[in-house]
Structure 1
Amino acid sequence: MKVESFPPVIDSHSRILILGSMPGAASLKAYQYYGNPRNYLWTILYALFGGGRKPDPEYENRLSFALSHGIALWDAIAICEREGSLDSNIRQVIPNDIPGLLRRYPGVITLVCNGTKSFTELNKHYGSDPEIMQRAVLRMPSTSPIPTKHYRGLEDRLEAWRGIKESTGAFKQ
């Protein structure tokens, strides 16, 4: 089945661009970034920048929270073929124009890839592009709730994601 990503959530104050691969089925149905309530991304962002409070139940408020902390959201993939939600099922990738977005928003200094597929696709299509090369690129463990060999749940993922505050220098509270 052909699936398409959402438009970027970004503004002139954005310093960090979190890149997913492609929204999963629950997110596509809700038309929300990280719309699967089991995904850890919003919980992680609120833990890091919201003083430990729980994510706002309203999607628009979560987007405002991210933007107010210099965080933008997009996906490495614009269109692909995929059955279900697993990155391993992604085929026939057409990438998003990440270099073009970075030219329009030069204040973005760090790209944070949410998972291996995002990182792989970014590098495959744009790894040598000057817009990418002049920025820090971090590969973080996926915020998907699916356990992996090294990341079993929220706590170990949150611990790994804590490093983005120090390594980017852009997350000033």
Structure 2
Amino acid sequence: MSDTVTVTTWSLEQTSPSDLVPSANPPGPDIRIVRSEVPSPEFSRFLYASVGADCAWTDRLTWTREQWVTYLSRPGAVETWVAYDRGTPAGYIELEAQSEGQVEIAYFGLLPAFRGRRIGGHLLSYGIGRAWELAGTKRVWVHTCSLDGPHALANYEKRGFRVFDVKTEEEQKPSGHAMK
């Protein structure tokens, strides 16, 4: 049994606010999108681990509480927006402002129970719009891979992202770890 898996990663970008194609079918009125304004390592880790559990998100599972605090507390660098269905977290989008007017959608996704309900397109549209509102934004970019959900790449493309790079590599099979 091999300890590696073949992973294709697509990097996508928008270079103008006019590239955004908002979701045409927003979810019902019970869905709200709210910024998580108080840095909370526990809440951010919950979102990351819950959304990414079946998509092999593992790079942040080994982070200590202090690493989360450091990452989330950088002034003006990270915004976390959470979609709620009647008060229950349904998914999130994390925006990371970077140098030279770039904003990365660092993480985006829905908890499994909320997929297939038009929440993802709505949340992604909202997050992209917010990324373009940040001062000095010249480019919004994201990457997704073959381990992500089956509709991830199509959702990004429907929202107006264009592929600018594709890589296929052998990677170690992911394993999870608990926050310390």
| Pairwise TM-score range, normalised by the shorter structure | 0.3 to 0.5
Q: Which of the two has higher C-alpha Rg?
A: 2
Could you state the TM-score of these two structures normalised by the residue count of structure 1? Answer: 0.35
Could you state the TM-score of these two structures normalised by the residue count of structure 2? Answer: 0.35
Q: Which has the higher strand share?
A: 2
> Per chain length, whose mean CA-contact separation is higher, i.e. which structure has more relative contact order (CA < 8 Å, sep 6+)?
2
